[in-house]
Amino acid sequence: MRNMVEKLILEYINSCEICEYTDYQSKSSVKRHNQSVDRMYEIVEEIKSLGDNATHQFAELLNHPVSSKWLAHHLIEKVSISEELKYKCINIIRKLAMDNSQTGLGEKMWLEERDISI
C-alpha cells in the first residue's frame, strides 16, 4: 500500500505543477489544467479510501511549495481531518488570501463563504 500512496503523491504533485504553469491564453493549456484538477480530486478520494495512515502521509504535502495551496482546500472539502490539520490548512489559505492578486481575492472569497475569518 505504501507504494500506491507514494505513486498517488507523485501524481498529485505533478498535477499541481501542471496547474501552476497554466497558460490561460491557450485552450489546450486550460483544458490540461482542468483535467489535472479533476485528477487531483480523484487522487484525494483514492487516498481517503486507503485509510488514515495514507491520509496522514498525503497530508505531508502541506509542506510542499506547489501542492500545499491545492491540498489545503482538498483536505478541508473532501476529507474528515483533525482540528489541528484543519487549522494548518486554513492558515495556508489565509496566507494566500493576503496576496494582492486574483488568487488572493479568490482565497478571501473561499474563506468568507465558509465564515472563516481572514
Report d(CA 75, CA 31) in Å as an integer.
24
Alpha carbon distance, N-terminus to C-terminus of the chain: 38
Residue 98 lies in a domain: yes
Compute the distance between CA of residue 76 and CA of residue 8 in angstroms, rounded to an integer: 19
Query: Per the structure, how many domains does the chain have?
Result: 1
Whether 68 is in a domain gets the answer yes
d(CA 94, CA 50): 29
pTM attached to this predicted model: 0.91
Render each residue's pLDDT in the chain as its tens digit; 118 residues. 679 999 999 999 999 999 999 999 999 999 999 999 999 999 999 999 999 999 999 999 999 999 999 999 999 999 999 999 999 999 999 999 999 998 999 999 999 999 998 8
Looking up residue 68, the CATH number of its domain turns out to be 1.25.40
For residue 118, is it within any domain? Answer: no
Whole domain around residue 30: which residue ranges?
A: 2-113
